[in-house]
Amino acid sequence: MAIRDRMSGNEAVAYAIKQINPDVMPAFPITPSTEIPQLVSTYIANGECDTEFIPVESEHSSMSATLGSEAAGARSLTATSSCGLALMWEELLVAASNRMPCAMALVNRTLSGPININCDHTDGMGARDTGWIQIYAENNQEAYDNFIQAYPIAEDVRVHLPIMICQDGFITSHAVENIELLEDDKVREFVGTYKPEEFLLNPGKPMSVGPYSVSNYAMEARKNQALAMEAAKDVIIEVADRYRELTGRGFGFFEEYKTSDADYVMVIMGSAAGTAKQAVDDLREQGIKAGVLKLRVFRPFPAVQIAKALAGSKAVAIMDRCESYNTNGGPLGSEIMAALFREKVSTEAVNYIYGLAGRDFTVESVYGIFDDLKQHVEQGKEFDQFRYIGLRE
């Protein structure tokens, strides 16, 4: 029987960590993820889990310690946000290239400057090419559910890659919502026990982690890493199917909300998907066939699946909560448009930038975007790509 409770997103992730009871958690506090290590350390102090908590002097050190314990054969994780993730940069690449299936609770926050502690996806998108699996949540329930699925994905022998479970800073991390929790025994049965095939503290089989690689071997290692990311697609779906059988909740790469007959679709990721869904409900009552494709898995990027899901629509709004500064749009815009082109899907696509540094994204904003798409299709109205939504003129 599910346990009904009320929790913030940070509380939900910390509770999932307590239920999983990993071996080691090094962490350094940074807003808005600070509550996660605080809560986990409280669970440990109260005897509710026996994770080894390591306070460190920086986020670089927290990821270094996470890698060290993971390499030694311990199930390990950390939590961070924003410039904390940026300080880990070197170690993010080391984790992925050394095939360490550690986990990270990433509470998304903009990167400075000017100094700002509010939500956008600058941090996660900045790490998009480091080789980590990235899964994003719309709400507190999904943050909890996604974290429970993290280790079964990362530790699968076909994958062995690190994983980020992402949620929007303050919007979900600090807001309290109703939530359904699983019993501890069901979580631990679902996640299972980590039994690494290779690890440093195995006296019967000496090995090294992160050795120097000459050119004759390094490229093959990178290819194997890429193959593992491709294999993660199947594993993510398999784990999602198992979790759905257990809870009745969840989906795979993305959620399709009223898209089956939609003329106009908004592709969006994170907490703002709820705003988009409300607008779609309102527009449907007016006879406008609008829909939302909420992306859950950003890495590995499900390009073919997204293109097929959008193929029946007349126009698509691709929403980026991040600016790439490439003069060609945001990360989602670039990757989805490339996917549409490669799959020969002729749907019109427009890229929008929204919600930077916590800027409000309202239902009225969504109405305006769908109206743009409608006017473009029905009246041939031209408008600029890469428009900023909610910008003070």
Contact partners, residue 225, CB within 8 Å, separation at least 6 = 96, 97, 99, 131, 161
Q: What share of the chain is helix, strand, coil (3-state, %, to 5)?
A: 40, 20, 40
Same domain, 63 and 94: yes
pLDDT tens for 180-200 read 999 999 999 999 999 998 999
CATH number of the domain to which 49 belongs: 3.40.50.970
Q: Pick from 159, 203, 200: which is nearest to 70 by CA? A: 200
For residues 50 and 319, give the distance between their C-alpha atoms in angstroms, rounded to a whole number.
41
Do 333 and 226 belong together in one domain?
no
Q: Which two tokens stand for residue 370?
A: 């769908």
Nearest to 272 by CA among 292, 242, 299: 292
Is there a cis peptide before residue 206, judged by omega within 30 degrees of 0? no
* 288 found inside a domain: yes
Same domain, 99 and 143: yes
In this structure, the answer to whether residues 41 and 178 fall within a common structural domain is yes
Alpha helices (H) along 267-355? 272-285, 303-310, 331-342
Asked if the structure places residue 393 within a domain, the reply is no
Using the structure block, give the residue that is written with the tokens 């399709």.
Answer: 256
Q: How many helices (H) and strands (E) does the chain have?
A: 13, 15
* pLDDT attached to residue 347: 95
Residue range(s) defining the domain that contains residue 11: 3-247
**Cα separation, 136 vs 134, whole angstroms:** 7
In the listed set 247, 271, 295, which residue is the last one of a domain according to the structure?
A: 247
What the block records as the tokens of 324 is: 């790439």
Structure tokens given for 140 = 């507190």
Q: How many CB atoms lie within 10 A of CB 274?
A: 17
Domain count, the chain: 2
pLDDT of residue 1: 65
298 and 153 inside one domain: no
* Phi-psi sector, 357: left (phi>0), alpha (psi -120 to 50), beta: left
Q: Which residues pair with residue 4 across a beta bridge?
A: 180
Which domain-ending residue is among 247, 277, 312? 247
Nearest partner of 228 among 154, 126, 166, judged by Cα: 154
Question: Within this chain, do residues 51 and 143 fall inside the same structural domain, yes or no?
Answer: yes
Quick one: 90 and 211 in the same domain?
yes
Sign of the alpha-carbon torsion through 374, 379, 382, 383: negative
Tens of pLDDT along 289-328?
A: 999 999 999 999 999 999 999 999 999 999 999 999 999 8
**Residue 229 confidence (pLDDT) above 80:** yes
Query: Both 92 and 144 in a single domain?
Result: yes
| Residue where a domain terminates, one of 231, 247, 263 | 247
Same-domain pairing of 229 and 100: yes
State percent of the chain over pLDDT 90.
Answer: 91
Orientation of helix 215-247 relative to helix 184-191, angle to 10°: 150
- For 249, counting Cβ atoms within 10 Å of its Cβ (0-12 exposed, 13-18 middle, 19+ buried), the class is middle
d(CA 371, CA 381): 11
Crossing angle of helices 89-97 and 59-71, rounded to 10°: 20
What secondary structure letter does DSSP report for 42? H
Residue 80 sits in the same domain as residue 218: yes
Query: Looking at the structure, do residues 198 and 260 belong to the same domain, yes or no?
Result: no
Task: Read off the pLDDT of residues 109-130 as tens digits, 9 standing for 90 and up.
Answer: 999 889 999 999 999 999 999 9
- How far from the centroid of its chain's Cα atoms is residue 319's Cα? 15
Q: What residues contact 193, with CB distance under 8 A and at least 6 apart?
A: none
Q: Is the pLDDT of residue 382 over 90?
A: no
Q: What pLDDT score does 204 carry?
A: 86
* CATH assignment of the domain containing 308: 3.40.50.920
> Of 276, 254, 275, nearest to 264 (Cα)?
276
Q: What is the pLDDT of residues 247-288, one digit of tens each?
A: 999 889 999 999 999 999 999 999 999 999 999 999 999 999
- Say if residues 172 and 118 touch (Cβ distance below 8 Å): no
Do 170 and 24 share a domain, yes or no? yes
Model pTM score: 0.97
